[in-house]
A and B are shown apart, each in its own frame.
Chain A
Amino acid sequence: MFSSFSFYEKARNKEIVAGLSLISIAVILNIVFGYFAMMFALYLSFFKWDYIGEMQFVGLKNFEIVIRDLIRGLHGAPYLLSPFYTGLKNILIYTAIVVPVQTFLAIVLAAFANQKIKGQQFFKVSYFLPATTSSVIVALIFIWLFMKNGFINFALAHIIPGFQPIDWINSREYLLLAIAIVAIWGTSGHFMVSFLAAMQAIPKEIYEAAMLDGAGPIRRFFFITIPMLRPMIVYVVVMGLIGALQMFDLAWVMAGANGGPGGAGYTVALDIYNEAFTRIRPGVAAAKSWFLFAIIFTTTYLFQKKYGRAMR
């Protein structure tokens, strides 16, 4: 017979009750704000809607709008007429700059922080500090630094003789680069912590054995540290890809909703926002979101498949 007393008596049941109730909050939040939102976006992508009136089924028309935008962009239409293409192009360039640099920089910073030198704690903290600051605040500060008569131009003019000050934020050529620099500055410290943890988990014996075999610090770094970090590198690159491809906050603050001069700072995420709330086409916005999701999913999947498994 079943009684509540005997049910809770069993240690196994207790564990299950405790376990399920502990994860339940996270699971429910994830279902409501993650999976439900995702499925609703898929549903929405087949409808025409203006938030106020009734939803109207339009089949694949929203996806057609996105594809037509891409085709037009490939044929060289100005950015105002092919916003999605512009956003996609920019975000791919941005990702190609940010992800390799931030990963490399994070490894280097972690290697430094892992040394037994005086004030090592100070460096760890100062590298990580940007990660604790809101990206909007970081972007606002960098707008000042990047101004035509701002600090960055001032410093560059002192380092490079004959340097002409660049109007970073208002220039079509440099805006995306400026945003990428801010992103690298802001995220490298965050990923450094991941690498630092992974480095400290590498068994000392391996280094000792290598030292006995006569390997110097540089060879030890390239032939032991880097290969042992490989799973973490894959993780950092994947997280970096996901973050970079859906970048919104920095572009919003530094370039503005319309992407700044010539749409140089326009991203896919900005376009999704504009589609949903400026042009009032949430269906098209949802279709674009699914496009972005497909791109992020395939790139990270391919990367994981190629590099993620080979370990061990």
Chain B
Amino acid sequence: MKKVLVGGLLIFALLFAVVASGCIGGQTQTPTGETKTETQVKTETKVETQVQEKVFIRFAGWSAGETEMKNYERMIKEFEQKNPTIGVKYEVITQMFHENILASFGAGVAPDVFYVDSSWAPIFIDKGALYPISDLADQSFIDKFYPFLLEPFKKNGKLYGLPKDWSMLALFYNKKLFEQAGLTKPPETWEELEEYAKIIADKTGKPGLAIYLGGFNRYVPVAVSNGAPKPWFEKPEDASWFDNPVVKETLAWYINLYKKGKIEREQQGLTPYVVAPGDVGAGWLGDAFGQQQVAMVISGNWMIPFLADQFPDFKYGEDWDIAPVPAGKSGRVTMAYTVILGINAKSEHPQEAWKFVEFLLGPEGQKELVVKAGQTLPSMKGFENDPDMWPQHRKTLSFKYDDMIVFLWGPKSGPLEGKFSDAMAAAMRGEMTIDEAIEVMKQVVQEELSS
């Protein structure tokens, strides 16, 4: 019996040793770093002295494709050459990025630098997860960015992140279908948008406009351009935004676009003039537009590289063009979507992390990563007339808007956007009346923001 016990203990000691050594192996980062740098700088002889001082920072982002990843890898290499004492470990998290980052905070292994989407920013800022950039950066550097893009990332006079790039909504229209329908210019107002969509459907047999079922953020410009305040939900009482008569009216108009334009038209046996991408067998708006199933969509700059890549025969300028988002009674408003590079507040090397962020976001970095890549718009001013900027993107930058709304509805942006969109979709499909949908949306605000 005793021997059995001793035997068991021995095994556990052995296993413990194995596990413990594994743990220790995981904690010592220097040896792994050493091997890495050795392979990278084979020709250098005095590697060891360098490695001693070298600091490693971890940088996490999602990826908009292989080209973007390669661009980042190239820039990181350049940065490491300029700053031999800093090593950067690039980690790409392809799916559920913010959830992953949150979980890594929970486990205490969050990266030093990471992307934060504007709609997730309040969670990270409120909980103190982000290092105040304003403590690290020169004001002159911050001043180079578009000021409206910085607004959502400020709290108590401090700035918690700088945008790496941005996109805005614009109206994409199919010139050939417009010609067939006898239209010579893109719609100027929301009323014209609906009117033109109808004309196109009647004359060409193709739906004039595609919108998402739901899609609260696509509706917001309609409300604000007609005089509603910007939506902001911080406390349960903010649900009163939905009581605003302009909101009620515009929301009903937006929901009816689909109800009247799709459901009622089909009941009458006519071509629908408004559809959702799924109705024409497309995955999303860009797909529906690229396949030339619809004449107009309101979408963001991300559509431009998609169209160039997936539909090379559908040419900008000849076949399709870009126009500003239609105007309402009190002006022209569009949405802006942005992503910041945040620095982990618990990072052991905030100075080094900032050096890296400054490099990526500076003029040099933005030129390579944003302007030349052509995926989105640079967040820094001064590239408006850059010859490397894609003409499509340059055109979106030339539009004049009275207001730019950054995609952010307060501390619970993510869940609110999802649930608002679900309620709107239910009303669009006719499962709920518009008043019921508005009531549900109000209750959602109260529910999410109470306690």
Contacts and interface: CB of A to CB of B under 8 A. Distances in A.
Contacts of A13: 3-4, 7
A267 to B, nearest CB: 16
B423 A149 contact: no
A59 interface: no
A263 B444 CA distance: 15
In the complex, which of the residues A10, A53, A261, A280 has the most CB atoms of chain B within 10 Å of its own CB atom? A280
A13 B6 CA distance: 10
Interface stretch (B67-75, B149-157, B351-359, B412-420): B412-420
Interface in B101-140: 102-103, 105-106, 123-124, 127-129
Given A13-B7, A50-B123, A263-B422, A80 B444 contact: yes
A68 to B, nearest CB: 10
Contacts of A172: 429, 431
B174 to A, nearest CB: 22
B123 A81 contact: no
A7 B422 contact: no
Given A81-B440, A262-B431, A279 B8 contact: no
Nearest to B420: A80
Interface in B346-365: none
A24 B17 CA distance: 13
B281 A16 contact: no
Interface string B398-418: 000000000000001011001
Contacts of A49: 106
A237 to B, nearest CB: 33
A21 B129 contact: no
Contacts of A81: 440, 443-444, 447
Interface residues on A, range: 20 to 34
Nearest to B101: A51
A24 B432 CA distance: 57
B448 A279 contact: yes
Given A78-B440, A81-B443, A53 B426 contact: no
A170 B281 CA distance: 12
Nearest to B444: A80
Nearest to B419: A80
Given A20-B8, A172-B431, A28 B15 contact: yes
B425 interface: yes
Interface in A267-301: 274, 277-280, 282
B449 to A, nearest CB: 11
A10 B7 CA distance: 12
Interface in A166-182: 170, 172
Interface string A1-36: 010000100100100110011001000100000000
B41 interface: no
Majority secondary structure, B binding face: helix
Contacts of B98: 277
B24 interface: no
Contacts of B448: 279
A120 B129 CA distance: 61
B23 interface: no
A135 interface: no
Nearest to A276: B99
Contacts of B281: 147-149
Contact of B429 (A16, A51, A261): A261
B64 interface: no
Contacts of B123: 50, 280
Given A147-B281, A149-B281, A280-B123, A52 B419 contact: no
Contact of B415 (A10, A261, A278): A278
A126 B128 CA distance: 55
A258 B415 CA distance: 10
A288 to B, nearest CB: 15
Interface of B: 2-4, 6-8, 10-11, 14-15, 19, 96, 98-99, 102-103, 105-106, 123-124, 127-129, 278, 281, 412, 414-415, 418-419, 422-423, 425-426, 429, 431-432, 436, 440, 443-444, 447-448
Interface of A: 2, 7, 10, 13, 16-17, 20-21, 24, 28, 49-53, 78, 80-81, 147-149, 170, 172, 257-258, 261-263, 274, 277-280, 282
Given A21-B11, A52-B102, 16 more contacts: A2-B6, A7-B6, A17-B7, A50-B123, A51-B103, A51-B106, A53-B127, A53-B128, A80-B422, A80-B440, A258-B418, A261-B426, A277-B98, A278-B414, A278-B415, A279-B412
